[in-house]
Structure 1
Amino acid sequence: MASNAPVGKPTDMSSPRLPKVAGIDSTVPAPPHTVAPLPGVPSAATPSDAALPPGVLIQDRLASWVSDLTTLHELTERLIKTDSLDGALREMLGAGAALVGARRGMAVLEPADGLGPTSTIGLGLAHADLGTIETVPRGSGSYGRLLDGLPEADPPGAGLPEADPPGSGLPGNSPAAPRRPARVPEPIAIRDVRTEEGLDPRHREVAARLGYAASYALPLATEEAGRLGAAVWLYDEPAEPDERRRHLIGLYGRFATEHLARLLQVERARARVATVTEELLPSRLPRVPGVRLAVRHLTGPQGGGDWYDALPLPEGALGLAVGSVSGTGPSALAAMGRLRASLRAYAVMEGEDPVAVLSDLELLLRLTEPARSATALFAYAEPAQRRIVLAGAGHAPPLVVGDHRTEFVETSLSAPLGMLTCWEAPSVELSPAPGETVLLYTDGLLRRTGDATDRAFARLHAAAASVPRADRSDPGAVADHVLRTLLPGGLDPAVEGEDVVLLAARFE
């Protein structure tokens, strides 16, 4: 974008050389009775319009209003398609820069309630530039004054008498105080950093170093949402947006703030679900001689019921388990926690017999949660003898990865837990060779690929077989390679779906 030329009055900000906004081609010549329009925002009427017929003026103004509405509609449509806080901030920065006629800017997400998350996003600014701007005292920077000067909404009861007024009846029967909306400050325009009064010398120094001469800061706040942050756009030359640009960026900013508020609530909900999920799973894997363990757990936005476990057992044995509970959300997480805790108890009592462990788990699930099903695989490992005995209930078979073979373990087919009439699937015994890694995983790893089941198994086998020889001594590296190969884009947190669990055990 070309630099903004110095202006003498607000209407001088209009320039036909600015790039187009939201698909409005600014290179189209303006009608002879109007001045050149803003990019996507038609200019206001000029004094010369007084000589034009009234019908022409009305038509021109209607065209301007329609163009403004079209521009805002297209910009807000693009914004509402973003599904992450960072994505929304970047989209808002780009659209706002075009609306105010700037080239660079930054947005700071800093909710006033202090619950986070916080972030800083730049437009046309490197990470080092953002750090340099943050060295300016907050009281001197325009965005800092907005962040520090915007009050919170008054708490319930603020401004009301502490005691019940006479004649109000029983104590405590006074009506609840309405929540007062927060007061939103006005945007801050610094037309010329060199001549603006009251600026800290550090502010002028940073502006000279980064090559900007003016700024326009907008609070990301509304009366209901409170303060979420602030955005500031930087001009290469002394300038400030005219009244029309201010009006448009104000409308867009209020919409952007409401959208950010919704995304913030979603992000916080995801963080709470992730925290609960991690608390229900092992905080660390045990260290047992003869075997090295690694696990990778990826969860969706609502949290699923996939789980894993690894617990030391008597006589140097080790219990390994993976499973999945039907459903998503808090109820699935609670069921997963109960099922995992029960399996640990059964494993301690009779872990050397995986069929008995899963039989007890089947009976418990049928009696306590008859409407829910689950899959599970439990393996009783003796690392010193490199011996594993395992049984599964409706679960995918383990995969053995080594220098000389990559193959699935042949297990008997069985229905999921909660759907069995009697237990018929026997256990399976295998002996991994020194240096081989056994992969236990949940069905989410296969289903997240989006392929049919047979093709997903083939892709998993190919991914395990392609692990570089140098990485096969590290179970974590093996798990990472398989995940990168099957899910190259990672687990999209915005897409609903099953969790992914991958537990790797390498035998020495």
Structure 2
Amino acid sequence: MLDIPSSVRVDVEALLAAQNHMGVCDALEQYAPVGKPDAMTAPHLPKVAGIDSTVPPPAHTVAPASPAPAPPSSPATPGTPGAPGAPGALIQDRLAGWVSDLTTLHELTERLARTAVLDEALHEVLRAGAALVGARRGLVVLEPADGLGPDTTVGLGLARADLGHIETVPRGATSYGRILDRADGTDEPEVHADLLSENGLDPRHREVATRLGYAASFALPLATEAAGRLGAAVWLYDEPAEPVERQRHLVGLYTSYATEHLARLLELERARTKSRTLAEELLPPRLPRVGGVQLAARHRTGPRGGGDWYDALPLPEGALGLAVGSVTGSGASAVAAMGRLRASLRAYAVMEGEDPVAVLSDLELLLRLTEPARSATALFAYCEPALRKIVMAGAGHSPPLVIGERRTEFVETSLSAPLGMLACWEAPSVEFSPEPGETVLLYTDGLLHRTGDPMDRAFARLHAAAAGVPRTIRDDPGAIADHVLHTVLPDGLDAADSDEDVVLLAARFE
């Protein structure tokens, strides 16, 4: 409770006068007793939500004098200081309520501001709104008015099957449907205090409400002037109910801020989706089928899109070309450069794939002439599955890993600078033969960088993950790649937003 001196004798009408833009000082004077005033300083409220809430002293109002104490035998009467219904206590309670509301809004908006992913933000909006309006369940329907998506529905306290039942209700009979389909663009809420007793309620809506056990709903639009209507939020009550005016005011303030935050995350999600789609389209849509070898690939793209890539292409006489690489930079320019580099390597591999050094030499010359400001790493392996023979060359790239029953070891490759770093690139190739049942794992440096460890520890972690592949999945290159990925990058690090792309290409030789 705020510490307001008991000498302040003011009725709540003074506060209402201030709210109605009346002279608050005149309203205070109305209740000031006649007599000589004593000096008084204005109370200082604590800071709330980063706002200095110090109340300045009135400019033309004096504090009332302290009244004489009532005789011991006289009971306190309403309107006197210390009485339970004193006006000072009323305004003190009202101010304390305002402070509490500001504090609540500050905490909820701070929690929302910490969300960086659209789906996480939608769940946070549902939880905060439910706390403000006193509901237990709810759903958000995201359906941007510009038609560019993404369209999704997120529930609070509702399983996926429950959301499916709600979606079977005709759109025009639902609160979110009426909000999203409004032609006048108004932002009024949809309130149904006693849903099941309403006349004209759609029979399917009544059936779903009875099945899911909700009897009332309160819905608000999620709209901004810049982005238009993004969607609608609906909160469901187990019993007939509706939020009071104070709750409506608070949730309205919260959703106004939340919608702006959602609009920013929506644009970010769209940019990520475009970059991810572009990167995926520039990679092989499917891996080739070549006798004597099984292939599997895993690709994780960062939020801005990066230049990590892989390739597997059939070559003449039953041979197979495997490649992984990484282009410096991120964003659309790096993705485009990656596409050009991969297409060029495919052409060189078809012409002279049996000589990996020549393939990378041609690629280095092309990169130096066409994109002198960019560098790249690459590894190309010419495989003859029938002979289980691999000839490989690398340019500044991490060595592949051989995973088998009797060994788990890195392939010894020669040290070489990345492409575009030297006036003329050339390094010797290496040749090795995997045993039957062994898997050769090619990867990009993003797998190591995402661990956050120094490179020596990251390599040790990768080796331990490969050595720990269960025997039951050693005949499945996809399962091997998944095990290594999730072991090296546990707790969702493989899916978390990162500036580093991750590529794994596994080839198991029969």
Shorter-chain-normalised TM-score: which range? Answer: 0.7 to 0.9
Match of 2:288 among 286, 292, 301: 286
TM-score normalised by L of structure 1: 0.81
Provide the rounded CA distance (Å) in 2 between the counterparts of 1:310 and 1:290: 14
Aligned residue type for 2:452: G
**What's the offset of the Cα at 1:207?**
2.1
**What's the offset of the Cα at 1:107?**
1.4
Pair 1:134 & 2:136 matched: no
Contact 2:441 2:507 in 1 (8 A): yes
**What's the offset of the Cα at 1:226?**
1.4
Higher relative contact order by CA 8 Å / sep ≥ 6: 1 or 2?
1
Contact 1:298 1:491 in 2 (8 A): no
Provide the rounded CA distance (Å) in 2 between the counterparts of 1:325 and 1:380: 21
Pair 1:379 & 2:381 matched: yes
Provide the rounded CA distance (Å) in 2 between the counterparts of 1:467 and 1:303: 30
TM-score normalised by L of structure 2: 0.81
Provide the rounded CA distance (Å) in 2 between the counterparts of 1:239 and 1:423: 75
**What's the offset of the Cα at 1:85?**
1.8
Provide the rounded CA distance (Å) in 2 between the counterparts of 1:67 and 1:225: 32
Pair 1:88 & 2:88 matched: no
Match of 2:484 among 471, 482, 485: 482
Equivalence for 1:441: 443
Equivalence for 2:251: 249
Contact 1:142 1:188 in 2 (8 A): yes
Cα distance change, pair 150–484 in 1 and its aligned pair in 2 (3 A): farther
Residues 337-346 or 125-134, more deviating: 125-134
Equivalence for 2:75: none
Contact 1:386 1:431 in 2 (8 A): yes
Residues 225-234 or 296-305, more deviating: 225-234
Unaligned runs of 5+ residues in structure 2 are 1-48, 50-77
Provide the rounded CA distance (Å) in 1 between the counterparts of 2:289 and 2:218: 57
Pair 1:124 & 2:157 matched: yes
Contact 2:79 2:87 in 1 (8 A): no
- Cα shift readout 1:422-454 (whole Å, capped 9, x = no counterpart): 445210000111111111110111111111111
Aligned residue type for 2:178: R
Contact 1:83 1:494 in 2 (8 A): no
Provide the rounded CA distance (Å) in 1 between the counterparts of 2:379 and 2:312: 12
**What's the offset of the Cα at 1:214?**
1.2
**What's the offset of the Cα at 1:225?**
2.2
Contact 2:138 2:155 in 1 (8 A): yes
**What's the offset of the Cα at 1:217?**
0.9
Match of 2:138 among 90, 98, 105: 105
Contact 1:184 1:222 in 2 (8 A): no
Provide the rounded CA distance (Å) in 2 between the counterparts of 1:424 and 1:264: 47
What is the Cα-based RMSD across aligned positions, in Å? 2.1
**What's the offset of the Cα at 1:59?**
4.4
Aligned residue type for 2:509: F
SS in 1 for 2:451: coil
Equivalence for 1:34: none
Residues 494-503 or 382-391, more deviating: 494-503
Contact 2:118 2:262 in 1 (8 A): yes
Alignment map for 1:392-431 (pairs within 5 Å): 392-431=394-433
Contact 1:93 1:123 in 2 (8 A): yes
Match of 2:99 among 47, 63, 66: 66
Aligned residue type for 1:329: G
Provide the rounded CA distance (Å) in 1 between the counterparts of 2:470 and 2:323: 26
Equivalence for 2:218: 216
Calculate percent identity across the aligned residue pairs.
79
Equivalence for 1:502: 504
Contact 1:397 1:410 in 2 (8 A): yes
Equivalence for 2:45: none
Match of 1:322 among 321, 324, 337: 324
Aligned residue type for 2:337: A
**What's the offset of the Cα at 1:110?**
1.6
Aligned pairs, how many? 431
Cα distance change, pair 494–297 in 1 and its aligned pair in 2 (3 A): closer
**What's the offset of the Cα at 1:266?**
0.8
Provide the rounded CA distance (Å) in 2 between the counterparts of 1:392 and 1:248: 61
**What's the offset of the Cα at 1:215?**
1.0
